Structure 1
């Protein structure tokens, strides 16, 4: 699959505006939690570039491999705190909005886990990764190629 469009080159002002929001979120949301949010939304949106980037970044910052794999099935996983679960549930509902938006149950759990400011910053973080995902999926943005794997002798 070839990249359709390089948004950063074609619309640099718009790209920089999204990057400005990204920089705000990075400065105001716990990095460990931010990696989980970005990875979860990217899984839901099918953005291979973002899944690759955010899992790689999380590993570099010390996140455990098993937790990253478990983001895909976080509801059944024992690896997440109640605060992380509230953020992941909010990520699911905001990413999938649908007809019902964010459920009252998910919102109440998020309000219990976060201050109003933290909740506002989480909403911005979830919204920002959804913008990046939509750019990546729409333009067929691809992750860097993997190094060739050695084949086992038969």
Structure 2
């Protein structure tokens, strides 16, 4: 079934999402780490079962130097040894927000021990952004890159 081309049908709305990505890139570069951002985008995309975004963010993570073994292990990061405390906390937050679960004080305290307030805001908005992209892509189903 042919679906609407969301980029053509609503270019102003899509431009808003692209502009948000540009702002996030600037903030992530300043407050976080680009590779961490790719891991978070990939994990949210896994949770949302968004094939297009899984393919894109796996490729982008590898282009940034991410190890293919860690990308493969990401789906079971809690049981794998190759992730830092910072990555584990970011992935835990990603899963909680993606699954619309509350952020308990314990997790918030752990996060604030490792991330600055600015970084936490950036990370939260970044998780929100990838979830928005996942939902747009799941609706209109563009073909994943090979």
Normalized against structure 1, the TM-score is what? 0.88
1:48 paired to 2:47: no
Cα shift at 1:90: 0.4
Matching residue of 2:98 = 95
Matching residue of 1:136 = 137
1:64 paired to 2:67: yes
Q: Which SS does the other structure have where 1:5 is aligned?
A: coil
Cα shift at 1:105: 2.5
Deviations 1:48-84 (A, max 9, x none): 0000000001111110001111110111110110001
Q: Distance in 2 between matches of 1:61 and 1:74?
A: 19
Matching residue of 2:3 = 4
Q: Which SS does the other structure have where 1:62 is aligned?
A: coil
Structure 2: stretches of 5+ with no match in the other structure? none
Higher Cα Rg: structure 1 or 2?
Answer: 1
What CA RMSD, in Å, does the superposition of the two structures yield over aligned residues? 1.2
CA contact (8 A) 1:94 1:126 kept: yes
Cα shift at 1:106: 2.1
Matching residue of 1:149 = none
Cα shift at 1:3: 5.2
Matching residue of 1:25 = 24
Higher helix share: 2
Q: Distance in 2 between matches of 1:111 and 1:3?
A: 45
CA contact (8 A) 1:3 1:142 kept: no
Q: Distance in 2 between matches of 1:56 and 1:128?
A: 19
Q: Distance in 2 between matches of 1:133 and 1:3?
A: 18
Q: Distance in 1 between matches of 2:36 and 2:2?
A: 30
Q: Distance in 1 between matches of 2:50 and 2:106?
A: 28
- Residue-pair matches, total: 142
CA contact (8 A) 1:3 1:141 kept: no
Cα shift at 1:142: 2.1
